Amino acid sequence: MVNIGAGTGSYEPPQTVVAVEPSPVMIAQRPAGSAPVVRAVAEAIPLGDDCADATMALLTVHHWKDLEAGIAELRRITRRRIVVLTWDQSVTRRFWLLEEYLPEAVALDDARATGIDRLCQLLGGARVETVPVPHDCTDGFGVAYWRRPEAYLDPVVRAGMSILAQTGEEALRPGLAGSRTTSAPAAGTSATPNCCARRPSTAATGC
Ligand SMILES: C[S@@+](CC[C@H](N)C(=O)[O-])C[C@H]1O[C@@H](n2cnc3c(N)ncnc32)[C@H](O)[C@@H]1O
């Protein structure tokens, strides 16, 4: 198993032989005992053809400068299976936080999200599976706190979400202020973050 865009190694299974990650900041945070890491980008992986049984690329393809080159590299080094986890922007842009409070942040992900169809095409065909995000998800990615709305008011939580960190606090301020002052609506309506408890979970999509 080769983990591409591995970051600090979250989700890395014990079978991982090597991780590929360009950021020294992320590499420095990899726990002791995790797989050895090669500092490189997905677009130019310094590994031989067909060297891996499987590769995984979780929540990273939207960061790549050249998606086509990166997926071609995954296909070059992988013998059997490639697993990509990303989100479906047509679903996520309707997430209550973005739709009702922080529409300023939607444009960023509209521009950088990877189309599921395009990804499948570049992979040469793929099975698409929807991955529900549990309400008590311990990762801090963008939609993780869908049933814990108060978390989005915490600047430390926001700093860990590239969609909010890159949109910037200035642009988010009106929406965040609105979420603080919105009064509770009648049960079953959708004007307050709390009502997300009654909504289906937002899904990320693996391909
Ligand atoms: C949101 S983190 C995800 C990390 C890890 N896969 C996980 O799920 O916890 C995105 C990672 O992609 C890395 N990245 C950015 N550009 C990349 C590229 N061109 N090729 C490979 N990884 C890249 C970042 O440095 C970062 O570690």
Residues 83 and 137 in one domain: no
Task: For residues 99-123, give the mean pLDDT.
Answer: 94
Closest residue (by CA) to atom 4 of ligand 1? 7
- The whole-angstrom separation of Cα 72 and Cα 26 is 24
What average pLDDT does the structure give for the chain?
87
Same domain, 51 and 14: yes
Q: Are residues 150 and 83 located together in one domain of the fold? A: no
Q: Do 100 and 62 lie in a common domain? A: no
Same domain, 95 and 177: yes
Residue 22 lies in a domain: yes
Query: One-letter amino acid identity for 3?
Result: N
Task: State whether 30 and 61 are in the same domain.
Answer: yes
Model confidence at 190, pLDDT cuts 50, 70, 90, reads: very low
Residue at 118 is within a domain: no
83 and 98 in a single domain? The answer is no
The verdict on 95 and 184 lying in the same domain is yes
The reported pTM is: 0.85
Asked if residue 26 has its Cβ within 6 Å of ligand 1, the reply is yes
Pair (13, 107) in one structural domain: no
The verdict on the CB of residue 56 being under 6 Å from ligand 1 is no
**CB of residue 60 inside a 6 A radius of ligand 1:** yes
6 lines ligand 1 (CB under 6 A): yes
- pLDDT 10s digits, 64-109: 999 999 999 999 999 999 999 999 999 999 999 999 999 999 999 9
Does 97 share its domain with 170?
A: yes
* Number of folded domains that form the chain: 2
Answer whether residue 43 is part of any domain.
yes
pLDDT tens-digit readout, 12-26: 999 999 999 999 999
Owning domain of residue 25: 1-87
